[in-house]
Amino acid sequence: MSIRDDIQEFLTSRRARLTPEQVGLQSYGRRRVPGLRREEVAMLAQVSVEYYSRLERGNLSGVSESIFESLVQALRLNDVEERHLRDLIRASENTVRPRRPRASEQRVRPTVQRMLDAMTDLPAIVQNGRLDIIAANRMGRALYAAQFDTAILPPNQARFIFLDPRGRDFAPDWDRAANECVAILRAAVGRDPHDRQLSDLVGELSTRSDEFRLRWAAHNVHQHKSGSKRIHLPAVGELSLDFEVLELTADPGLMLITFSAEPGSPSHDALQLLSSWAATQQSTDSAAAAPQNP
């Protein structure tokens, strides 16, 4: 799909989710399709119907900032959606395709790994925009042990959620996790539509998962910043964890994600149990890797 097609379908999907009542308009007559009509969006954005139709066909080249802001207001775009639309416009105007390392070649800097390893009580991982887990500390590997148990490296959270049967056990709120995975990947495509590995991942998931394909068609976008999630692990049971996402500004595209639990809560106790389990696993792995005396 071309960038222009992405712009067209994104604008169409945002228009379809709004009703006249939501934007202060009266509804007249029966509507063949849900959402606002093009002329209603054009009126709200204070542009002609012909001009808005051109925009919705994906031709946003040269759009002024004032018209862009009017379009954002008319379609009630949130901050993440506005940024996504800007990314799509920028991508449509940029023909330069920067070289990027393959996921298998991507590494964190030694100082970042040292910082990860210093976090002994909290799970922490480094993730890229494709949802590959590039690095983790001991607790992070324990939290995502099922994801690391794969022949395809680096582990990818979207591939695990949609294609691995263990994904539904790992994420008790599976629908929410699935929606967020797809929306994060959709935003990543807007930022870098020339990322071949990202395109290959989306193609693989679309081919192998009806659940993914239906969500991808919705054109929803999401950006991880902070929040909470429920995770179920066979070793310790269910955890309710808060997470924080920090961009590694020296490593564009990489994010440090840390997980914690309220002190004294069952999830905090479960994290301590997970730490003990991870230490046991590490000792077992080290013993297995050690050379045997003759």
Instruction: For residue range 182-235, list pLDDT tens digits in order.
Output: 999 999 999 988 889 999 999 999 999 999 999 999 999 998 889 999 999 998
Element holding 15 (H helix, E strand): helix 3-16
Residue 244, pLDDT above cutoff 60? yes
Residue 287, pLDDT above cutoff 50? no
Mind listing the pLDDT tens digit for each residue in 158-179? 999 999 999 999 999 999 999 9
Residue 44, pLDDT above cutoff 90? yes
Residue 32, pLDDT above cutoff 90? no
| CATH number for the domain whose boundaries are 110-287 | 3.30.450.180
Residue with tokens 């930022």: 191
Instruction: Give percent of the chain above pLDDT 90.
Output: 70
* pLDDT (mean) for 281-289: 54
Q: What angle do CA 234, 235, 237 make, to 5 degrees?
A: 65
Please, which pLDDT band fits residue 11 given cuts at 50, 70 and 90? very high
* Mean pLDDT of the chain, nearest integer: 89
Residue 39, pLDDT above cutoff 70? yes
Length of the chain: 294
**Region(s) of the chain under CATH 1.10.260.40:** 3-26+33-93
Higher pLDDT, 194 or 291: 194
Residue 27, pLDDT above cutoff 80? no
The Cα 132–Cα 233 span in angstroms is 20
Higher pLDDT, 62 or 219: 219
Sheet hosting strand 226-233, strand order edge to edge: 133-136, 124-128, 254-260, 237-247, 226-233
Exposure pattern of 85-94 as b/e (b: 16+ CB <10 Å)? bebbbebbee
Query: Residue 224 has what DSSP assignment?
Result: -
Higher pLDDT, 240 or 98: 240
- β-partners of residue 31 are none
Exposure pattern of 239-260 as b/e (b: 16+ CB <10 Å)? bbbebeeeeeeebebbbbbbbb
The one-letter code for the residue type at 291 is: P
Residue 103, pLDDT above cutoff 60? no
- 3-26+33-93 has CATH 1.10.260.40 classification: yes
The Cα 241–Cα 32 span in angstroms is 44
Residue 248, pLDDT above cutoff 50? yes
Instruction: Give percent of the chain above pLDDT 70.
Output: 90
Please, which pLDDT band fits residue 61 given cuts at 50, 70 and 90? confident
Nearest by Cα to 43 from 63, 62, 24: 24
**Region(s) of the chain under CATH 3.30.450.180:** 110-287
Residue 78, pLDDT above cutoff 60? yes
